[in-house]
A and B are shown apart, each in its own frame.
Chain A
Amino acid sequence: MSEDPRLTALVSAAGTLFRDQALDAVRAWKARTGGLAVGFLPIYVPRELLHAQGVLPVGLMGGRPDLEIIKGDAYYQSYICHLPRSTIELGLNGSYAALDGLIFPAICDVIRNLSGMWQMLFPHVLVHYFDVPQNFDPGIGGAFYRRDLEALATALAERGARPLTAEALRESIALYNENRRLVRELYALRRREPWKVPTHELYVVLRAALLMPVEESTPMFAGYLALTSADESRRPQDQARVLVAGSFCEQPPLALIKTLERSGCYIVDDDFVQVHRFIRSDIPVDGDPLQRLVDALLTDAVASPTRYIAGGVKGADLEQRLAESSAEGVLFCAPSFCDPALLDQPMAVRAAERAGAPWTAFKYAENSGQFQVIREQAGTFADSIKLWSNA
């Protein structure tokens, strides 16, 4: 039985967007709508707010392995992760020329300093450092965050975006709820039947959505979900179920994801392209919508290493995800030199051990080209899991 050609076409179209490093799709959208486009760095910004002001939020995830870094390397020492240098490269080579602004979320010292570099290198674009609170009390961190959202809305309006209204924000929240719901369903389907949703494919679909307006990414997700769940040509194989943890900002090369799958792993949960799942459930559409956005971050965000996790047990969420996904092991997979991911890892490892899950760890860079070692490591890991689960 062969694959539904509509599924093949959808994945191929997503692949084209995934490879669109020069943001041609964004240029086309701007020409069509006359709206502003604003880029954001990993891992989370409230895209609802931008959308409500008629702005296209564009997710920037660094460079692909084939991006030749000519200038970016002159900006960063060898012991700094790869993402900022590819981001600078893409800025300097004109790939981001379609963007009216960039948002730098507060996730690490590298991104923080990069925001200042951007201010100096591209003085004509809006640069907004998005300082998410690490205090999750509504009256303290919530109040601060609300002011930050208001400042962002004002800055966008000053650049020519529509002023923010409660009504528009409510509508945007509803649209993104639907969008997130479909992503959750895709993740749920993959947990149940990972052969239906190969991760290298899901990943490309999620990445493509970063360059699309939500009005287009939602039908894409829905179409992919419907087509892949109906596709009987996709049959289960004897693979180990693994959770891939820790890659949340600088993304792994697609070939690395493929390598993991080819080495015998079904990825049944992961941290890729987190912006789609950073808020875990629907955001209510009643009441004050700005406050709803604030509350969502305070109470319903994933336990990312970039957040201060107060109280409770560090890694509890990982244990929960392991249980929910019935993963048989964890692949800790972090970008080289990434402080948040790597400093979190010993605690995450302990959590995996508490849950009785075997684990292995390796590092990557977005431009890694050689996967032989990882292939062997992941293959051995998958084999040992299968052996162990059959014992």
Chain B
Amino acid sequence: MSPAPTAAAPARKDDSQVRQKAMIARHFDRLAAAPETGARTAYTFVPGNLTELLLSFDVLPVLPEINALQSAMRGKTAEYIAIAEKHGHSEDVCTYVKSDIGMMKSGNIGPTGQRLPSPDLLLLSYTGCFTFMKWFELLREEYHCPVAMLHVPYQADGRITDAMRTYVVDQLKQVVIPKLEEVTGRKYDEDRLREHLARSAQAEDDLVWVLQSAKNVPSPIDAYFGAVYYVGPIFSAFRGTTDAVDYYRELREEIAERIRQGKGPVTPEGEVERERFRVVVEGPPNWTSFRQFWKMFADEGAVAVASTYSKVGGVYDLGFRHDPDHPLETLADYCLGCYTNLSLPTRIDLLTRYVSEYRADGFLINSVKSCNSFSAGQLHILREVEARSGRPGGFIESDLVDPRYFSAANIKNRLESYFQMIEQKRPGVAS
């Protein structure tokens, strides 16, 4: 599960978008050059990643989930998934894994068309999904490189206990850091880590400001489709960098300007002129038909004012910030606090809260076939949030990167009926 930078970004480019594109291009250039420069790379995951720690060792992160979704946006995943299935992978399992394996078997060409280096380390630091574990067991068979495993316990009772934090910190100290030292030949430098963490916190402040700007009416951003671009840098290879700090400052200024002008969000089809529906969205987007999916909302004047997907790499709006004064504990809390590591009751509370705080007309669940972590229990979420918020819930089904499971006509129909239902249930509209 992860956010998508670049690719099909909105047609008119803001400065922040230009900056993001350049950041990403530089990152992939560095990755492509790694075999020559000797730079070390670690493959790792988005939710619960340890980017600051990797950067403190000068290790470049590669995020297979992001590669998978980028492959989907480039129309490659049908082919990649077919390759993985030919190699014995079931049609039932997470398509991110199959897309990644198919990509690897096709030469490991990344989103920018450059070849990705093989990993020096598989850093199995993950939150909230057992699939990640299998994924890296599968990759380990291909790459024969060292693996560092960071097991993050689940917040089953809706809180982080000392036992959980200690467990994660112990693993960081005794497993992950020694492995990074071994792979890079460098000593752990806590001061460097602190510097990265301080920069993370700074960027996180600005990100939260941006996401919460959707409380304005009209909302200046789309907090689901648009937010995918906003969270890209912070959820991936850039958290803790000055690039990220600059990007989020610039983004914040741009959004502040939109608010001053009373403007709605930008979409690939242009600006939303009139905000007709404010919705909260649960679940990841579909990447194979991302723009088409977005357009279905934009055409109706539907704006996502909050989403849970934009929290897969950290629920920062609940107050968490990386804390340079407690470097390992803060990394532990970060890992433990990502969205899919939250219990179902906590997810329901959060969604209900979003509906009210963001003055939403309703909430919509996009249930993706690939991801049990998100999807198992979503029908229960639907019922509960409806009951608690008193707002109508909608439910659609698709997949992350498998085009076989995106039925445009069906989804469009369902969305239209859903928006009609909202219209009918508006206060003052006779039923």
- Does A306 touch B at the CB level, under 8 Å? yes
Given A131-B154, A133-B151, A340-B130, decide whether A114 and B141 contact each other with a Cβ distance below 8 A.
no
Q: Is A109's CB under 8 angstroms from B373's CB?
A: yes
- Does A192 touch B at the CB level, under 8 Å? no
The answer, among B346, B372, B377, for a CB contact under 8 Å with A339, is B372
Q: Is A75's CB under 8 angstroms from B131's CB?
A: no
Given A141-B151, A342-B93, decide whether A110 and B167 contact each other with a Cβ distance below 8 A.
no
Complex Cα–Cα for A79 and B131 (A)? 16
- Does B36 touch A at the CB level, under 8 Å? no
The answer, among B87, B153, B367, for a CB contact under 8 Å with A77, is B367
* Smallest CB separation, B157 vs chain A (Å): 7
Q: Is B133's CB under 8 angstroms from A120's CB?
A: no
Q: Is B167's CB under 8 angstroms from A74's CB?
A: no
Given A108-B130, A119-B343, A120-B380, decide whether A347 and B138 contact each other with a Cβ distance below 8 A.
yes
Q: Is B149's CB under 8 angstroms from A144's CB?
A: no
- Does A112 touch B at the CB level, under 8 Å? yes
List the 7 closest A-B pairs by CB distance, nearest first: A116-B344, A129-B156, A343-B134, A134-B151, A113-B377, A144-B167, A342-B90
Q: Is A77's CB under 8 angstroms from B156's CB?
A: no
Given A80-B372, A114-B376, A339-B93, decide whether A129 and B344 contact each other with a Cβ distance below 8 A.
no
Q: Which residues of A contact B317 (CB under 8 A)?
A: none
List the B residue with the shortest CB-CB distance to A148. Answer: B163
- Please list the residues of chain A having a beta carbon within 8 angstroms of any beta carbon in chain B: 74-77, 79-80, 84, 104, 106-110, 112-117, 119-120, 129, 131, 133-135, 137, 139-141, 143-144, 147-148, 151, 305-306, 308-310, 314, 334, 336-340, 342-347, 349-350, 363
The answer, among A84, A140, A144, A345, for a CB contact under 8 Å with B153, is A144
Given A79-B92, A135-B171, decide whether A114 and B163 contact each other with a Cβ distance below 8 A.
no
Complex Cα–Cα for A279 and B369 (A)? 34
Q: Is B130's CB under 8 angstroms from A129's CB?
A: no
Q: Is B378's CB under 8 angstroms from A338's CB?
A: no
Q: Is B170's CB under 8 angstroms from A143's CB?
A: yes
Complex Cα–Cα for A305 and B131 (A)? 11
* Smallest CB separation, A143 vs chain B (Å): 7
Complex Cα–Cα for A323 and B34 (A)? 44
Complex Cα–Cα for A117 and B377 (A)? 7
The answer, among B151, B154, B346, B369, for a CB contact under 8 Å with A112, is B154
- Does B129 touch A at the CB level, under 8 Å? yes
Q: Is A139's CB under 8 angstroms from B170's CB?
A: yes
Given A109-B129, A140-B170, A144-B167, decide whether A135 and B376 contact each other with a Cβ distance below 8 A.
no
Q: Which residues of B contact A137 (CB under 8 A)?
A: 174-175
* Smallest CB separation, B105 vs chain A (Å): 12
The answer, among B133, B344, B372, for a CB contact under 8 Å with A134, is B133
* Smallest CB separation, A110 vs chain B (Å): 4
Q: Is A308's CB under 8 angstroms from B137's CB?
A: yes
Q: Is A76's CB under 8 angstroms from B138's CB?
A: no
Complex Cα–Cα for A363 and B92 (A)? 10
The answer, among B97, B134, B170, B348, for a CB contact under 8 Å with A305, is B134
Q: Which residues of A contact B112 (CB under 8 A)?
A: none
Q: Which residues of B contact A308 (CB under 8 A)?
A: 124, 133, 137, 149, 151
- Does B332 touch A at the CB level, under 8 Å? no
Mark contacts of B308-351 with chain A using CB atoms, 8 A cut-off: 1 yes-contact digit, 0 otherwise.
00000000000000000000000000000000000111111000
- Does B375 touch A at the CB level, under 8 Å? yes
Q: Is B376's CB under 8 angstroms from A110's CB?
A: yes
List the B residue with the shortest CB-CB distance to A128. Answer: B156
- Does B135 touch A at the CB level, under 8 Å? yes
Q: Is B175's CB under 8 angstroms from A140's CB?
A: yes
What are 13 pairs between A and B in contact, CB < 8 Å?
A109-B372, A110-B376, A116-B343, A120-B348, A133-B167, A134-B149, A144-B163, A144-B166, A151-B163, A308-B137, A343-B93, A343-B135, A345-B88
The answer, among B133, B166, B376, B397, for a CB contact under 8 Å with A84, is B376
Q: Is A129's CB under 8 angstroms from B147's CB?
A: no
Complex Cα–Cα for A144 and B168 (A)? 9
Given A109-B131, A134-B149, A310-B147, decide whether A77 and B167 contact each other with a Cβ distance below 8 A.
no
* Smallest CB separation, A302 vs chain B (Å): 16
* Smallest CB separation, A201 vs chain B (Å): 31
- Does B8 touch A at the CB level, under 8 Å? no
Complex Cα–Cα for A140 and B152 (A)? 12
Q: Which residues of B contact A107 (CB under 8 A)?
A: 130
- Does B379 touch A at the CB level, under 8 Å? yes
List the A residue with the shortest CB-CB distance to B129. Answer: A109
Q: Which residues of B contact A75 (CB under 8 A)?
A: 377, 379-380
Q: Which residues of A contact B94 (CB under 8 A)?
A: 339, 343
Q: Which residues of A contact B369 (CB under 8 A)?
A: 77, 79
Q: Which residues of B contact A113 (CB under 8 A)?
A: 344, 372-373, 376-377
**Other A-B pairs beyond A77-B375, A77-B397, 19, CB < 8 Å:** A79-B92, A80-B375, A80-B376, A107-B130, A119-B343, A119-B345, A133-B151, A135-B167, A139-B174, A143-B167, A144-B166, A308-B149, A309-B137, A337-B92, A338-B92, A343-B93, A346-B88, A347-B138, A350-B141
Q: Which residues of B contact A345 (CB under 8 A)?
A: 88, 90
Given A109-B130, A120-B384, decide whether A129 and B154 contact each other with a Cβ distance below 8 A.
yes
Complex Cα–Cα for A305 and B138 (A)? 12
* Smallest CB separation, B343 vs chain A (Å): 4
Q: Which residues of A contact B380 (CB under 8 A)?
A: 75, 117, 120
Complex Cα–Cα for A151 and B157 (A)? 12
Complex Cα–Cα for A314 and B163 (A)? 30
Q: Which residues of B contact A306 (CB under 8 A)?
A: 130
- Does B89 touch A at the CB level, under 8 Å? yes
Most B C-beta atoms less than 10 A away, residue of A305, A338, A346: A346
* Smallest CB separation, B349 vs chain A (Å): 11
Interface members, chain B 122-159 (any A CB < 8 Å): 124, 128-131, 133-135, 137-138, 140-141, 147, 149, 151, 153-154, 156-157
Q: Which residues of A contact B376 (CB under 8 A)?
A: 76, 80, 84, 109-110, 113-114
Q: Which residues of A contact B371 (CB under 8 A)?
A: 109
Most A C-beta atoms less than 10 A away, residue of B90, B131, B141, B343: B90
The answer, among B131, B156, B171, B367, for a CB contact under 8 Å with A140, is B171
* Smallest CB separation, B87 vs chain A (Å): 7
Q: Which residues of A contact B149 (CB under 8 A)?
A: 134-135, 308, 310
* Smallest CB separation, B381 vs chain A (Å): 9
The answer, among B141, B154, B171, B379, for a CB contact under 8 Å with A74, is B379
Q: Which residues of B contact A334 (CB under 8 A)?
A: 90
Q: Is B97's CB under 8 angstroms from A120's CB?
A: no
Given A140-B175, A141-B167, decide whether A77 and B345 contact each other with a Cβ distance below 8 A.
no
Q: Which residues of B contact A344 (CB under 8 A)?
A: 134, 137
